[in-house]
Structure 1
């Protein structure tokens, strides 16, 4: 992330910002709109001044926390493709999608309030996820390990359904089984 002036943040400032965003996702998921920003700062291990310097309002923090989760999800696709075969990269990304959806569901109250205030944190979200998913599906199809007739839109719908049905932290085992079942349906040939 960069400063408004376009200069990159110092490494320690970036670490603090990342810790604040991670803490914000957890605290907003637990406490919703009643979350105290001081608690977020404390859980991040930073002072209130550091939090407010980075995120001057609750709305700015909520939007940044959501966008950070989205960026982590979308940025994972090329990283996974660099480090593992396409089919395994897709499966790993599917797990990241459930992490993203769980965080988003946990922050639903805060995100809803943000939208009601006139801020749309979801601008380009679906497009970004579809692009990441398309790159994974295309790599798998080119490798011959994933059917080529599956669109990113269809796969996104399947993952969204799994997230809605099993997106709570206590449902993670079920979500993993459903992700494995979905991946089995993408195979080009039987095992």
Structure 2
């Protein structure tokens, strides 16, 4: 089972006893998805926190006109979850789709609550994780409001180097809020500046 990748990720943040580790193993499950499959579809409640062991996903909203608005990618050791829907067990406003064959470790809300109650360190782990999600989201909103498309692309390349080789350019353009043609122009301009 690929749970060892998840366990090692957790152990980089908190220390677990053997009993706590056994509890962790008993409360999570591994799930495999094929490229193109959905982990979550808009309109359904998000039942799991999804930790990506291998593969890649995109999280996006489909508007009333059928336009796709990508706002998150996830690769190995990233999380792919609709947090508001998961916590409130409400319908999701997002889709999570696999861009590659993907393996995730899933934690249900019931297991999440059990782990945070029975292993105090998990409360801290998830608090730190949720804080980072909030900080990243706020930073992204401010960048989108303050920076030009070129500056946003340069930031994307700097912060998410590993994504550019694995994510199609038109999806990166959607994430940046620009057309794929405009992204191509920006990339050509950057190449000519070298």
Structure (1 or 2) with the greater strand fraction: 2
Structures share fold, TM-score greater than 0.5:
no
| Structure number with higher helix proportion | 1
Q: TM-score range by the shorter chain?
A: under 0.3
TM-score (norm 1): 0.26
Q: Which of 1 and 2 has higher RCO (CA within 8 Å, sep 6+)?
A: 2
TM-score normalised to structure 2 length: 0.26
